[in-house]
Every structure is written in structure tokens, then in C-alpha cells.
Amino acid sequence: MTINVLITGAAGNLAHFIWKALLRSNLPAGHDVRTIGCNYNHDGAGMYQFDAGHVVPPAVDPAYLPAIMEICERESVHLIMIGNMAEMHVLARHGGEIYKQTGAFVVTSPPPALRLMDDKWELATFLRKSGFDYPRSVLPSDRKSLERFLDEVQFPYVVKSRFGAGSQQLATARTNHELEYLAAAVRDPVIQEYLTPDDEEYTVGAFVCSNGRAAASIVMKRQLNLGMTFKAQVLPESDLGGYCERILERTGCIGPANVQLRLTERGPVVFEINPRFSSTTSARPHYGFNETEMCIRHFVLNEEIVRPMIRTGRLFRVVEDVFVDEIEFDLLARTGKIENSTNTILWDGC
């Protein structure tokens, strides 16, 4: 049986990481994977690396959803794996409709869980009310609470957008002048305590089954560059995996999720949860954790997920080059579709 997987946002990094993890899947005998990409334009590596590629309207366009459904029907798609958050919100709202009409299952958490994890102020409030440690936070618009926060929490502070992702719209304020400037410059700002130490940051990937129970997790101590992990150590014996699984089970999350935290003097403090695949999704299979394979086994083959044995190791991320023939580039630009690209070369060494 061939499992047809549609990967959205095919020009982006996240789609590339999903694709690489799918290539490393170890499915039951007689099963293989065919990857179909879609993107709002033809200008991206994934459109040529996958088995097929389709140009679709942007997620905000009313024509986006019909285009996705048409691809699902034409390509007999079993699973939709989402490569960016803009599409995730649209597809989560219409996941039931897509499945009913096409049989394609959308890998996403339900809209209420997405809204919770997309809002850093609401997430901190949720963690506090649920009995987990949380970053002390305040909205600058609440002047009384802001004054109390400034009295009780020492500089530096982190100023970020409530709805930003990764390192987007995030800066450190070390003086009152910087705080005033950033609070005015950042859209929908929230001010949070600066969690220390800097060298104790972790990313925990987990998979939550359709019944809301976390089935597996992997813990990585990481270093960041441009908002993504570029160095990491896998820690299979860490208690942080179970801690984050308990949090995720309270959020209503389904499928893959990533918890970002720092291990402070008072213990682990979660500051962000991303209900999606991760920048380390492509590397995790090497250490025994492949959430793309778990999605196929659980959502398509209806298997119970067996907790994998995670092995230790180090991750170092480098840049890859993809070379596309001009003929294939022009073909996709002209027709909006490409299949079995033969002139694409992934350079991964000399």
C-alpha cells in the first residue's frame, strides 16, 4: 500500500524537514510513502524534491480550500502534513469537511488548542492555573499589573509578540528606556521574565494520540541560530519528557507538538508550545523518534503507538543546496503542477 502524504508550504524549511523524516520512516512491510507538495508559488526546493508538486492559492484566499480538496481527490491523499501556521489554522477549522469529502486526514490539533498555544499570554496563564511553573508575564496595557511586575521582577525582560513564533518579534530589554521602546515597537506585546541560564534551553518533541494521551517524547538540549536548533544533545534519560507530556495532555493537543523550556534554579519553565512538526523533525528519526511515521501508523493504519527507545547523540545542522533545472522550474511556473522531477539534485557532500 502506498501512503500518499500532502505536505503544505512546500517551499519552506518545515516542509523540507517533514519530507526528510518521511524518507526515513520504517513502515510495516508492503507500505511505502509518496509525497505531494503544495505551495502558493513555484519558487521553492520542496516543489521539485517531492514526488509531485502543485501551486495553490495562499491560505487567506477563498480558493485555497477547494484547491486543497481537489489535490486530495486527484492524488488520493491519505494524510495532510502542514508546513506553516497560516495554513494550519485554516485546515484545522475544515479538517472534518476535508476528511468527509476526500478521505484525507489533517494532522493538526483542534482550533481551541491552537488558539491557546498561539497566544503566549494565554499559555502562561494556562500553565499557572494548571499547576505548572510559568514565566512571569504582564501585558503593558495593564498599567497596574505592569507596575507590580516591575517591582517584583528584575531586569532584563523579554518583550515578544503574544502571537509570534520562534525568534520573530522578540527582544531583550535591559533598561527602562529599552522596555518603553520595545513595548511600543512590538505588535501585541507581552513582557516576560528573562529565564536563566542561557545554556539550559531544551526542546521536547512529543506525539499525542487521538485520545489525548501522549505516546512518546524526545528531549534535546539545544543551541539556537535564527530561531532554529543548530546544535543539540539528545537526552534519553531526562525527566523533562514526561513533564512536557503531562502539560500537552492538558492542552487538548493532538499529533506532533514541541515544547520549549529552560531549566532554571526553580526547575523547568515552559515558555512556548508549538503544536506542529519541528525544525528537528528531520533529525529525530536517527535517534529513534519519527513523528511523521507515528502519524501514518496512528491516523492511517490505526495502530497503537509503541513508545520508542531513544538513543543519545549529538546533532549539528548545516545548510544544503538544491539544484533545479531551468526547464522544470519553467514547467511548474507555467502549469502549476510537476511530477517525478528528474533534474533536481540535492547536494549533500563532495
C-beta of residue 98 within 8 angstroms of C-beta of residue 68: yes
C-beta of residue 25 within 8 angstroms of C-beta of residue 296: yes
Average pLDDT value for residue range 299-306: 97
pLDDT per residue as tens digits for the range 39-51 = 999 988 889 999 9
The domain at 137-192 falls in which architecture? 2-Layer Sandwich (3.30)
Q: What is the phi/psi pair of residue 209, to 5°?
A: -75, 170
The domain at 2-107+320-347 falls in which architecture? 3-Layer(aba) Sandwich (3.40)
- Order of strands across the sheet that contains 214-225: 267-274, 255-264, 201-208, 214-225, 228-234, 313-316
Q: Which residues pair with 202 in a beta bridge?
A: 221, 261
Average pLDDT value for residue range 211-222: 97
pLDDT per residue as tens digits for the range 123-149 = 999 999 999 999 999 999 999 999 999
Return the pLDDT at 350: 40
Compute the mean pLDDT over every residue in the chain, rounded to the nearest whole number. 94
Domain ranges of the chain: 2-107+320-347, 137-192, 198-316
Average pLDDT value for residue range 172-193: 96
Distance CA 51, CA 337 (A): 11
The letter for the amino acid at 344 is: T
Distance CA 18, CA 277 (A): 7
pLDDT per residue as tens digits for the range 330-340 = 889 899 888 87
Distance CA 158, CA 171 (A): 6
Residue 168 has pLDDT above 70, yes or no: no
Instruction: Grade residue 349 by pLDDT with cuts at 50, 70 and 90.
Output: very low
CATH of 198-316, one of 3.30.470.20, 3.40.640.10, 1.20.1440.230, 3.30.1130.10: 3.30.470.20
Residue 57 has pLDDT above 50, yes or no: yes
Cβ contacts of 98-101, under 8 Å, gap ≥ 24: 98/65, 98/68, 98/69, 98/72, 101/69, 101/73
